[in-house]
Structure 1
Amino acid sequence: MDLAKGRLYGTPAVMPGRWGDHLGIVDLTLKQTGKTWHVADSQSSLRPIFDRTARKPLVDADPMPAAVIADEHQATLDHVRSQVAVADQPIQSYFSQVLDGTAVRLVAQAQLAYALKAVQGTALEKLPMLSAAAPFKSGGRQGWTQYTDIPAGPVAIKHVADLYVYPNTIKVVKLSGAQVRDWLEMSAGQFRRIDPQGPARQDVVDTSYPSFNFDMMLGQDGALRYELDLTQPARFDKDGQRVGDGRRVVNLSWRGQPLDERADFLVVTNNYRAYGGGHFPALAADKVVVDAPDETREALAHFLAAQPSLSAAVAASSWRIRPVPGIAMQFVSGNGAAAHLKDTPQVTRVKDNGDGSSLFELKP
């Protein structure tokens, strides 16, 4: 890589900013030798279109596109603003990496409701079913405002897209109880190991671990319950390779009894995960037993519309981090989380980091 010139293996290359916030430019210096032109030099660069410090655009908007697509643009706005449900409490993801939060749980419940209907009348109907979902919007590299934060009141189509940002489709895989446990162990790799004899305050989230790989699971009517013991080492690395005998997933139960690792389970997930995305142990195409064509967002919209009370729909929690006596586990989230502390007694705010984020901690 030539970082000064912007080349990969001698070829000019540039990656424009997300959502068009930076223009990618490749300048070529051409020279002619006889009748043949060749590239004598090149320079790749990024040019911002917005001054983040002054909070103002650096270029004028082109009025032509707005005029040409005015009707379509307004129709799109009318659609995404249309109401599908009413939330009787806020729906947010500020604490979803450390707590069993409502934003992720809603997605998991919607997947579960969809898949239960999909297997009705089939041989799969008798198998116990779980649903797995992850917190997609969790700040970090995306910026400290990138969280789901839907106030109580009308829930619109735009909020459905906020709850589930990817155009994934629903899949169901068939696994053994042991493979379900490994799935959860892989997810538990998101956390740092906590030393019970160490400092009174310790960082709990490994920020290099992608939040979209932190799957939580739930079962119908709270049938699945488990705890995460972070004093234990991770069992798998980020590539799904087993690196030790640690068991972070403890008290794993199904309907009040220890989960049978020899029994078969169905797990609802998305196409990315079902076909091996994230390197989760055992997950591959041969495990897929329901290959549904519908997007998760569509299933989520239907689920929300059918609920008389969203808070009742997600009342049953399935997991928690096991407290470590004398240790406060710390993590960083967006400043918007402070508005939800009154409804989250497990969390306290330590300080404002001055960059749009704050340091929080789980109470010992």
Structure 2
Amino acid sequence: MPDGTRRPSRQIDSSRLTTLHLRILATTDLHMHLGAEDGTGGLARLAPLIAAERARNANVLLFDNGDLLEGTPLADEIARSGLGADDYHPAVAALNRLKYDAVTLGNHDFAHGVGFLRRALRDAAYPITLANAQLTCGTPLWSETLLLHRPLRDEAGRRHELTIGVFGVLPPQTVDWESGLATDMQTEDVVTAARRAVASLMARGADVIVALSHGGQGDGPAPRAENAAGIIAGITGVSAVIAGHTHETLVRPATGTTAPLVKAGFAGSHLAAISLRLRGTPGAWRVEHTRAEALPAAARPCPALADTLKSVPADIADRLTRPIGHTMRALNSHYALLGQDAGLRLIESALRAHVAAVLPENDLPVLTAFAPFRTGGRGGPDNFVSVPAGLLRRRDLSTLYPFTNHIAVIDVTGAEIAEWLERAATIFTQVPDDGRVHPLIDPAMPGFQFDIIAGLDYSIDLSRRAAFDISGRARSQPGRIVALRHTDRALRPEEHFLLVTNSYRMCGGPLYAPLTAGKTCLLPEDARLRVRDVLAQYLDEANAPPPSDAAFFSLIARPGTRASFDTAPTAAPELCPLPVDRAALTETGFQRLILKF
């Protein structure tokens, strides 16, 4: 409930009115970044903020919004090796230690299957809620809704029991993104489930309702929308919304018709905080005022939280350092958004080799589409791939490809390829030649949404307006992609190709959804491996050639145009594929290059 009344009012004796202050804290999209290995975020750097909030406020609740158990090399090795009978999953142990009140699950928490998830959550000391998903067999892992009964103190120090309703939702596409999950779980539309959950909680006496929405803001109505937290904020009865999934930091204050909404970034970069001032009497509370914040992680981590890592068996940590291959050149993503990334070239080679092996009769040209996942942005100046030349170790696989997507292959036309590239080019701003320096990258679009298609030659004209917005809506023609060629000739719209992509692109959206809707993956079921496993198999071959450092595309603009580009502080300006006018560090720790065309 935002400021004002959104619930049928009750007759209240004004002489008995009192005021309660409730502080709601939440983490989201931690992706197993517990703090020991992070420079700017991590749960251990949020722990001091949580402790300070609890010391400063009498009434505090702490939640997690999902995508906790997957995202680092350690997470993958724990899932690969399994947990012993007496082992705690370190992320679960960390949440136990910080005394979380409740959590929901995100799509990536299902990356290693329901069996592993069930084992990892066995030792959770907190309840779990998920309103739009049901397991098809076995004992339930979560409740559709939760009622938390908490003794809270009012401004005068008197105790009152408050009933807090909590529910969580995740993208319904989760069952499509994770191979084999559709047989173990069913999902439904986020908004439909949220409305049912709110009605149930209100009927059972919830004084306030907190929505844990593992999805982006998504204010527009759409069946089975991936991102719908903005719509949930407008449901009568909802008091506060924690959103996530898209790794953004966003604070949206309450209005007369919507509850406050906070997205707390990625990997522990921020702590979501929403304050509710309640006025009323027991059983008849009214939200009188709200405040929403996203608090940046503390500079110094909590040393005690690192003890949770001791629950990881030593042999799991040892396997992370096991050599699996070799690279003759350093692999980094410092200039991936400018079209140059040897690590992506390595992934391209691995994908091509896999497709050639499992589709030997194919006679269509093969193209590969992938995105650079770690390009700074919302993840901060440490959020880049940086693998030195020499031995590649198992932990480097998760660095090069941090998600558990499966390989997919679809039939596409030249016209669809051209549109795919136009949609990807949305990440760049329109850069005029007015003598001023303009930012090159639109911060609203994360790097993992920027698909590069290898096997083509093309340029992106920055002087033109993007053909699509970040929601995938057409807005301008003729677009930015120019000189699009395949094997030294112009790409023909009617020509057919095999495009190698991944399971997320096949079902995710909305930017690329119109191009994958109705498409069928052409790979046999047993060949739809995780991209990381494809890469591991490729590196295991002694004769795998070194990755190329050739650019995937070129950026062009009118002569004299200048643009700013933020990259890693360790990036070498002399290796930039575009001329650099000057370089300097920003207040946030990025190296800002001024590019000249």
Verify same fold: TM over 0.5: yes
The answer (yes or no) to whether the contact 1:13–1:44 under 8 Å persists in 2 is no
| 2:341 aligned residue | 101
Q: Do residues 296 (structure 1) and 426 (structure 2) align?
A: no
The answer (yes or no) to whether the contact 2:573–2:593 under 8 Å persists in 1 is no
The CA deviation at 1:88 is 1.3
| 2:161 aligned residue | 31
| 1:218 aligned residue | 454
The answer (yes or no) to whether the contact 1:226–1:253 under 8 Å persists in 2 is yes
Which whole-Å CA distance do the structure 2 matches of 1:285 and 1:181 have between them? 17
- The structure-2 alpha-carbon separation of the partners of 1:246 and 1:308, relative to structure 1 and needing over 3 Å to count, comes to same
- The structure-2 alpha-carbon separation of the partners of 1:51 and 1:206, relative to structure 1 and needing over 3 Å to count, comes to closer
The answer (yes or no) to whether the contact 1:111–1:269 under 8 Å persists in 2 is no
The CA deviation at 1:46 is 10
- The structure-2 alpha-carbon separation of the partners of 1:195 and 1:44, relative to structure 1 and needing over 3 Å to count, comes to closer
Matches within 5 A, 1:52-63: 52=299, 55-57=300-302, 60-61=304-305
Matches within 5 A, 1:226-245: 226-245=458-477
CA deviation string 1:208-264 (max 9, x = no partner): 112111111112xxxx21111111111111122211212211111111010111011
- The structure-2 alpha-carbon separation of the partners of 1:362 and 1:305, relative to structure 1 and needing over 3 Å to count, comes to farther
The amino acid that maps onto 1:327 is T
CA deviation string 1:25-52 (max 9, x = no partner): 51833539xxx99755799999999841
The CA deviation at 1:314 is 2.1
Q: Tell me, what secondary structure is at the counterpart of 1:22?
A: helix
Relative to the length of structure 1, the TM-score reads 0.82
The CA deviation at 1:22 is 3.2
| 2:413 aligned residue | 176
- The structure-2 alpha-carbon separation of the partners of 1:345 and 1:320, relative to structure 1 and needing over 3 Å to count, comes to closer
The amino acid that maps onto 1:26 is L
Higher relative contact order (CA closer than 8 Å, sequence separation 6+) = 1
Q: CA RMSD in A?
A: 3.3
- The structure-2 alpha-carbon separation of the partners of 1:116 and 1:317, relative to structure 1 and needing over 3 Å to count, comes to farther
Q: Which moved more, 1:158-167 or 1:283-292?
A: 283-292
- The structure-2 alpha-carbon separation of the partners of 1:325 and 1:119, relative to structure 1 and needing over 3 Å to count, comes to same
Q: Tell me, what secondary structure is at the counterpart of 1:266?
A: strand
Matches within 5 A, 1:199-218: 199-218=435-454
- The structure-2 alpha-carbon separation of the partners of 1:44 and 1:102, relative to structure 1 and needing over 3 Å to count, comes to same
The CA deviation at 1:56 is 4.4
Q: Tell me, what secondary structure is at the counterpart of 2:368?
A: strand
Which whole-Å CA distance do the structure 2 matches of 1:334 and 1:206 have between them? 17
Relative to the length of structure 2, the TM-score reads 0.51
The amino acid that maps onto 2:400 is L
Name the one with the larger strand percent. 1
Percent of residue pairs bearing the same amino acid type: 23
1:132 pairs with one of 363, 366, 369: 369
The CA deviation at 1:154 is 1.0
Q: Tell me, what secondary structure is at the counterpart of 2:402?
A: coil
| Aligned residue-pair number | 339
Which whole-Å CA distance do the structure 2 matches of 1:137 and 1:96 have between them? 9
Q: Which moved more, 1:141-150 or 1:272-281?
A: 272-281
Which whole-Å CA distance do the structure 2 matches of 1:38 and 1:284 have between them? 42
| 1:277 aligned residue | 509
| 1:15 aligned residue | 26
The answer (yes or no) to whether the contact 1:276–1:283 under 8 Å persists in 2 is no
Unaligned runs of 5+ in 1: none
Which whole-Å CA distance do the structure 1 matches of 2:532 and 2:472 have between them? 28
Which whole-Å CA distance do the structure 1 matches of 2:542 and 2:419 have between them? 32
| 1:336 aligned residue | 570
Q: Do residues 258 (structure 1) and 486 (structure 2) align?
A: no
